[in-house]
Amino acid sequence: MTYHALVPAAGSGSRMGALSGCALPKQYLPLAGQPMIRHALATLCATPAIMDVFVVLAPDDIHWPAAAMATLGPKLRVLRCGGDTRARSVANGLRAMAGELGEIGNDWVLVHDAARPCLTVAMVENLIAEVGEEDAGGLLAMPVADTLKRSDDNGRVRQTVSRDGLWQAQTPQMFRHRLLLDALDFAPQVTDEASAIETLGLSPRLVAADVSNLKVTYPLDLQLAAWILQNREQS
C-alpha cells in the first residue's frame, strides 16, 4: 500500500492574528526554534510508511522558508494551489498530486493541518495500523471529557448535552485519494475530510489520540505547543 501526506497550509491564521496583532500567518510563527509548520512536516517526512509529503501553500505566499525546509529531504514537495477554504486547498492539492504522480486513486492520503505541530511518528503509525484497509478510512480523534452545555442567545445554559459517544476530530485524516476527491467535490462546504466522506454514507474509523495533538488557533495554544515540544525533547 502507498501512503502520501497532504498538508494544507494556505490559511491566514485570522483568529491568531486578531489577538496577537502579528500579520505573519500562524503556520510560520516561531515555535521551539522553528517555523511552526516545520514540526508537522518533519514528523511526516520521518514516518517510514509515508512516501511523500505535499504541502499546499497559497499561490501568493511570500513567507515559505524554503531554506529551512530543504533539510527535510526529498520527500517534501511544495504545491502553490491553495484555495479560499481549507476544503478547496485540500481538493486542489489532491488534483495537483495526481498531476505529478499519475494514477494514485487507490493510494492513501493522510491530510494533516499545518497548525498541529505536536504530531508524532507514533501517532501516524497508530492511525495507519488501526485504519488498515477499511474502505471508509479514518481519523485521529479524542473522546470528549468535559460536560457540554448548549447556550441560549444571552450566554446562559439552555441545555446540558450528553458527551456519550462524542469525539473531537483531529488530523491526520486518511482516505483513498479518489474517494476523498469525489467526496470533496460532492460536499465542498465541509470543515474536515471525514465530514465529506460521511456525506457519501460512509463511517470513518475514529482512532483515539490525545490532547497533545492540539490545533494552534489562539496565542495561548502556541504556548501550550511549545511546552509540549520542549518537554518531549527533554524526556
Residue 80 touching ligand CTP (CB under 6 A): no
Kindly tell me which of 167 and 218 has the beta carbon lying closer to ligand CTP. Answer: 218
Report the alpha-carbon distance of residue 111 to residue 180 in Å, rounded: 10
CA distance 129 to 219: 34
Between CA 89 and CA 41 the distance in angstroms is: 17
Q: Residue with CB nearest ligand CTP? A: 11
Nearest residue (CB) to ligand CTP, 134 versus 169: 169
Decide: is 97 part of the binding site for ligand CTP (CB under 6 A). no
Instruction: Name the phi and psi angles at 146, rounded to 5.
Output: -85, 160
CB of 152 to ligand CTP, least distance (A): 26
Interaction of residue 193 with ligand CTP, rule CB under 6 A: no
State the helix-helix crossing angle for 121-131 and 36-45, rounded to 10 degrees. Answer: 50
Binding flag, residue 56, ligand CTP (CB under 6 A): yes
Q: Considering the complex, state which of residue 12 and residue 160 has its C-beta at the smaller distance from ligand CTP.
A: 12
Q: Are 64 and 57 in contact (CB under 8 A)?
A: yes
Which residue in the block uniquely carries the three cell numbers 475514529? 206
CB of 85 to ligand CTP, least distance (A): 5
Per-residue x/- mask for ligand CTP, residues 101 to 140, rule CB under 6 A? Answer: ------------xxx-------------------------
Q: Work out whether 85 is an interface residue with ligand CTP (CB under 6 A).
A: yes
User: At 149, is the secondary structure helix, strand, or coil?
Assistant: strand
Three-state DSSP at 137 gives coil
